[in-house]
Structure 1
Amino acid sequence: MPNERLRDAILRNGLTPVVVAERVGVDAKTVERWITQDRTPYPRHRHAIAAMVREDVPYLWPDAVTPEKASQIGQSEMVQLYSRRSSVPYDLWRRLIERAMERIDVLAYAGLFLLEQDPRLIDVLRQKGIDGVEVNILLGDPTSDAIQRRSVEEGAPGVMAAKIRQVQQYYKRLDGAPGVKVLYHDTTLYNSIYRFDDEMLVNMHVLGFPAPHAPVMHLRKLNGGDLFRTYSDSFDRVLGASKSRPGDEVAA
């Protein structure tokens, strides 16, 4: 069976088997066999091709990386573990936002601290969208049961919904901005996820503790790893279930 994923990735990037062969240092017929006969390249060639076509190794060759190997690679994806979000340096947040070239994803209930850290954030996000960066801001639906429950669990009933409504006033300035979406979700939030291209900050939530006092993982994506991908998949699921306005039903 042909490897259609590999074929599509090569063509989508304006490449040919001959060009791929030249770049990785193999015969063009070898690349043809990788495509038409679904042969699996050596690891060094897999990683070179994946980087060339900007895809993950597991996507191009699903059977090439065992779960055990993916778990080992995943351990190396953790750059730093912070005991609490308030310990994450502001310069790190700024660097990740400013250097993002493809996507900025925010999944939180309110995420008010981002705006408090940098009052220019809205203008930065608008410019990022203009420059072609895909920006997705997913906020909690202040009318949802999940928000009410989180406020009660943190010992401050009604506070979370109030924070979200405060944040809404800022993000309204992004209405109509190209490449920027501000959506609402009603999920039980186990983690807040902040993704900037191939780096991510994951704020883990702990029952009874406000988010600033909960741990944060700084992750950097590695080809074949499964940790970064786990949280990316989680973000995508919430994105698919989010809505344009609080209280709206998700379209079937």
Structure 2
Amino acid sequence: MQRLTDKAAAGARIRLAFADPDSAHVIERDALEQIGGTLPGRIRNALNFCEPLHDVDGVAIGLHAVHLYNSVFRFDNQMIVTPHLYRARGYQHPVLHLRELSPHGIFASFADQFEQVWQTTTAYPSEPAS
């Protein structure tokens, strides 16, 4: 967490979008991976791990309820994408290491997908009512 805090202090914009552990798609993914109802707890564990970031300027955490087709981790002009394969467990999914070489192509497609998913997120922890 300290590295993310330091990056944010240096001006990096950090956005973390997690699947809402209570969403129907998480329950579906858990069943497809046959992991016995543990996926919601794993997501909650990751969210708890991120708790030190809640008050860090430049860090935003959101929950989404869109279908879980892949995981995307972007770092400037590089990206790690993990496509979710049918009936495969997390550790069995392949990992793609992508670099941005042009404004078009697969990198841009996954970057756009993240932006679209981010637009559906709700702040986590939820913002207090004004």
User: TM-score by structure 1 length?
Assistant: 0.48
Unaligned runs of 5+ in 1: 1-121
Instruction: Establish whether residue 155 from structure 1 lines up as the match of residue 44 from structure 2.
Output: no
Quote the offset at 1:224 in angstroms: 4.3
- Determine the C-alpha separation between the residues in 2 that align with 1:129 and 1:210: 32
1:196 to 75, 79, 85: 75
- Determine the C-alpha separation between the residues in 2 that align with 1:245 and 1:125: 17
Identity of aligned residues (%): 29
**Alignment match, 1:21:** none
Distance 1:226 1:172, change over 3 A: same
**Alignment match, 2:86:** 207
Letter in 1 for 2:98: L
Unaligned runs of 5+ in 2: none
**Alignment match, 2:16:** 137
**Alignment match, 1:94:** none
- Determine the C-alpha separation between the residues in 2 that align with 1:214 and 1:154: 11
Aligned alpha-carbon RMSD (Å): 1.4
SS in 2 for 1:177: coil
Q: How many residues align?
A: 126
- Determine the C-alpha separation between the residues in 2 that align with 1:209 and 1:228: 24
Q: As a proportion of its length, which structure holds more helix? A: 1
Contact 2:73 2:81 in 1 (8 A): yes
Instruction: Establish whether residue 181 from structure 1 lines up as the match of residue 60 from structure 2.
Output: yes
- Determine the C-alpha separation between the residues in 2 that align with 1:155 and 1:188: 17
Quote the offset at 1:244 in angstroms: 1.0
Larger radius of gyration between Structure 1 and Structure 2: 1
Deviations 1:77-123 (A, max 9, x none): xxxxxxxxxxxxxxxxxxxxxxxxxxxxxxxxxxxxxxxxxxxxx11
Deviations 1:168-188 (A, max 9, x none): 211111111010011111111
User: TM-score by structure 2 length?
Assistant: 0.91
